[in-house]
Structure 1
């Protein structure tokens, strides 16, 4: 049987081996606006930038994320990596048939979001790490982020109001804030965003008794439907809560004895 020490070494080795995996592939995305071509060909949605297709045109379809022109705002595109990473490399593929001006004058930002139910809300209130500024026109660019560039969301944002076009983005990074259970061989990689002195109104999944808030948070980590762990240090009650939906109004309320941890 492997010792816990060996298992820990294997985990570290695995992280290094897979650090070049594209962690953006098929992850949730959004952008400031969507171009709707008159011709009606398949085009332009934000998820096309993480679908694994690098060419702009595939057959009759234009498989690139494309913001609407002339919408009088700084266009942007963002991907939720669904975990917190130390970002190393970012590869951005633009159109190669024309229009290098669609990929110029933009910032690459890595964002650690605030504790909100909707991951896209209030991105500018999170911790923003500036990875790169691209001043010149480009069709393909490889970016090395500075050391300690970490976060969950990567956003590409132009400094002007010209439309933004991204055919594919590939992101390489290592997960951080690993939480290893000392009494088991299992390994969990997560990031918990805490709000102390508050309770959380949201859909309840289950309740149980826990010795401390860390144990409560671990239970949330092992429950795939759990989005938040609420711990009452007075009663030792651990309440696991799910993601809010359109029909569920979620909010905080002050409570001296409660701690809430959102699983990022």
Structure 2
């Protein structure tokens, strides 16, 4: 057994010297298993166009919310044929996009109107929600804010790019105007950028944030023997960024450190472990 351990240690040293970025760290685990530990490769990709959208109200009966995500960046409203425009008396207008699954939002790019009124795209809050009820009944309290834009764009500022102050996770992307003058809400196109990940990954201890507004776990896996196995399973999952492990063998996957308050008592009672992906 000592020979096996010595061989494994030498093999690890060789692997460490040969490792290429981002895999610059190789660890001897449990004295017999050599594991390459690599920083997570979090990449950003643009979402495809023509996903379903909703608009709070319509400027004209022919208004179509899907025009905000159809690839047309011409910047000409032309009676609702190329841009989206909420009704003039809508005091809290919003636009919402169904991203089809839970995404980790990185940034958005807005193509503003160029035929007139570009300065009216102001006081807009970008966010996401993981609650399905938002799609049928808009509720600002269920939206996790990405970025709040309070500036007034010049006609030459097109497109406008906004990066989330922190990554936020959810299925439904929202743009919401605050009830401040001017109330008109319109834009012509939005490009959406989300984080994706590819294995292998490295996890470090993290602190969960318990909240009644947190989204449910991405999934729960039972009969997990250790935190290491829980972390590896999270790494294999396409969107898992945080993992919570209980000594009873339960492992839950999350997109953010904010987790349901209902898990707090069990987490404390079982001395649970919580880890997050290192980017």
TM bucket, shorter chain: 0.5 to 0.7
Matches within 5 A, 1:1-264: 4-6=19-21, 8=23, 23=46, 25-26=48-49, 33-35=56-58, 37-38=60-61, 40=62, 43-45=63-65, 47-55=66-74, 62-71=81-90, 73-77=91-95, 82-85=103-106, 87=107, 90-94=109-113, 96=115, 100-101=116-117, 104=120, 106-111=122-127, 117-118=131-132, 122=140, 126=144, 129-131=147-149, 133-134=151-152, 138=155, 141-143=158-160, 149-152=165-168, 155=175, 157=177, 159-160=180-181, 162-170=183-191, 175=195, 180-181=200-201, 194-196=208-210, 206-212=221-227, 215-216=229-230, 218-220=232-234, 222-223=236-237, 231-239=244-252, 253-258=262-267
Question: Secondary structure of 2:123's partner?
Answer: strand
- Distance in 1 of aligned mates of 2:158 and 2:244: 46
- Contact persistence 1:27–1:82 (CA under 8 A): no
C-alpha distance 179-236 of structure 1, shift in aligned 2 (>3 A):
same
**Cα RMSD (Å):** 5.5
Do 1:103 and 1:164's aligned partners in 2 also have CA atoms closer than 8 Å? no
TM-score normalised by structure 2 residue count: 0.52
- Could you list the per-position Cα deviations for residues 110-168 of structure 1 after superposition, in whole angstroms to 9, with x for gaps in the alignment? 54x68x544955467745544551166x486344658x844345735353363322111
Q: Is the 8 A contact 1:95 1:166 kept in 2?
A: no
Q: Counting strand residues as a fraction of each chain, which structure ranks higher?
A: 1
8 A contact 2:56–2:86 mirrored in 1: yes
Partner of 2:6: none
C-alpha distance in structure 2 between counterparts of 1:261 and 1:123, whole Å: 27
Distance 1:105 1:60 in 2: 18
The equivalent of 1:186 in structure 2 is none
How many Å apart are 1:108 and its aligned residue?
A: 4.6
TM-score norm. by structure 1 comes to 0.54
Residue ranges of structure 1 left out of the alignment (5+ in a row): 184-191, 242-250
In structure 1, distance between residues paired with 2:151 and 2:210: 36
| Aligned equivalents of 2:47, 2:265: Cα separation in 1 | 39
Decide which structure has the larger Cα Rg and report it.
2
Question: What is the distance in 2 between the residues matched to 1:108 and 1:125?
Answer: 14
Cα separation, 1, equivalents of 2:20 and 2:245: 34
Number of residue equivalences: 223
CA contact (8 A) 1:106 1:135 kept: yes
Aligned-partner Cα distance in 1 for 2:123–2:59 = 25
Flag structure 2 segments of 5+ consecutive residues without an equivalent: 1-14, 25-37, 255-259
Query: 1:32, 1:127 → 2: CA distance?
Result: 18
